[in-house]
Structure 1
Amino acid sequence: MKKVKTNALRILDQKHIDYQTREYNYDEDHLSGEHIVGQVDLSEDEIYKTLVLKYKEGYLVCCIPVMAEIDLKKLAKESGHKSVEMLHQKDLLGLTGYIRGGCSPIGMKKLFPTYFQEDILLLEKVAVSAGKRGLQVILKPDDLISSVQGKCVDVIRRG
């Protein structure tokens, strides 16, 4: 079987960043963090989802643990904007080159300001979408953060 190479994986190869991939059964009807956690051999804290948001002048990306909920007010403050809101799903492909369920912070059409939930720094490895539904890339948090010139902040809801 031919190995899948997404834009995200090609970029990691170009930067000589070590990674592994994990496939999982993508199910549009059951798209949730729990669905992925049940199939990828990592804890829910080690799997991050990629969110694309917009603000008055542009766009930004935020990666948080797959089971966490983003706090838009915290992200707005940390990113220096009055407010941020989720990008509408129909605009995702045109802006990033990725579709819902397969959006990776690596390899978007443009490098947007990218924020990671700061808890990522406590992990030895982290998984994010590899740029295709049903495929995760696992790598060191520092490698992921540096590959997109990311910043670590506290942006999830607690309690």
Structure 2
Amino acid sequence: MQLTNAARQLKQRNIPFTYHSYEVDASDVSAKHVAVSLGKPLDQLYKTICLENEQRRYAFFLISGELDIDLKAAAKAWGAKKASPVPMKELEALTGYIRGGVSPIGAKKRFPVYLHDSAKQKDTIIISAGKRGYQLELTPADLLRFTDGHWFTQ
């Protein structure tokens, strides 16, 4: 099995993770589809959303699969006046990832990472491995430690 860049980086730092793969449906890259494909609960799957603020700075926000991002709460956690999703057409050039395969690990540039506090109640969470069809399962604490991440509430 070929590891993604995100998985290789975790392995190099000896951070334990489980590597999951699933059949990709290009017409449905939703968190719900991924959770069903993996046979995992939707609230264990955390989707990565790349946001930009008014100063054109960027950050990754991870929220549980059943939630929608609250942009005001994200901006507040980030110390920004406002936050908005990076336009799809700019996502790959900025991060190196395409929609449905964005990971907070191994992006072209290192951006701040914010993990929704619902993950505090989870032993492990599942995040994108940086390529459609692959996911990483790890503890929230390991993700925050690896990314120098922060908790946020919405």
Cα deviation code 1:30-87 (max 9, x no counterpart): 2222211111132111110000011122111100011210100111111111100000
Deviation at 1:146, TM superposition (A): 1.1
How many Å separate the matches in 2 of 1:119 and 1:44?
13
Unaligned runs of 5+ in 2: none
* TM-score normalised to structure 1 length: 0.92
Deviation at 1:93, TM superposition (A): 1.0
Which residue identity lines up with residue 34 of structure 2 in the other structure? I
* TM-score normalised to structure 2 length: 0.95
Specify the alignment match of 1:150 in structure 2. 149
For 2:26, which of 21, 25, 28 is the aligned residue?
28
Identical counterparts, % of pairs: 37
How many Å separate the matches in 2 of 1:148 and 1:154?
18
How many Å separate the matches in 1 of 2:32 and 2:8?
28
**In angstroms, what is the RMSD of aligned CA positions?**
1.0
For 1:15, which of 13, 18, 28 is the aligned residue?
13
Which residue identity lines up with residue 82 of structure 2 in the other structure? S
Which residue identity lines up with residue 130 of structure 2 in the other structure? G
- Structure 1 stretches (4+) deviating beyond 3 angstroms? none
Aligned pair count reads: 153
How many Å separate the matches in 2 of 1:42 and 1:121?
18
Matched residue SS, 2:37: coil
